[in-house]
Amino acid sequence: MAGSLGAARSKLSALLSSTQKTVKPLADAAEKEVVTRYNKLMEANKQYVVKDEAKASTLLKQWYYTKLSRWAAARLHLGNLGHCPPRFAARALLPGLALHITDVLRYILLGFA
């Protein structure tokens, strides 16, 4: 029994080594691509990076509460969500379009882009 356990460990070790030899170059290439894309993204959007720490600490709250304030306006268009299934209430926003509640939430969070 001890011999079969040793043989199983040996096979598993060989399998893991082989897998690592195959996966590591792929992971390295993927990591390089991700870093390159990140650097390009940050370079293209550097004008939006806030350097002032005090201002930066309030941005998330400003964004969140600005988007949250749109919820009340959206509810006026949607009707009473408590009594109407969301998928039907969402369609009331723009009659004739089959909107799902996720479309409405996307509008609230991102606006129509």
At 69, list the tokens: 């304030």
- Contact between 45 and 39 under an 8 Å Cβ cutoff? The reply is no
| Per-residue confidence band for 40, with pLDDT thresholds at 50, 70 and 90 | very high
Domain boundaries, the chain: 1-49, 53-113
pLDDT, tens digit (0-9, with 9 covering 90-100), for 58-83: 998 888 888 777 776 666 655 544 44
User: Could you tell me the pTM of the whole model?
Assistant: 0.44
pLDDT, tens digit (0-9, with 9 covering 90-100), for 95-111: 444 455 666 676 666 65
- Contact between 91 and 77 under an 8 Å Cβ cutoff? The reply is no
* Rounded-to-integer distance, Cα 94 and Cα 75, Å: 13
Tokens 């600005």 locate to 66
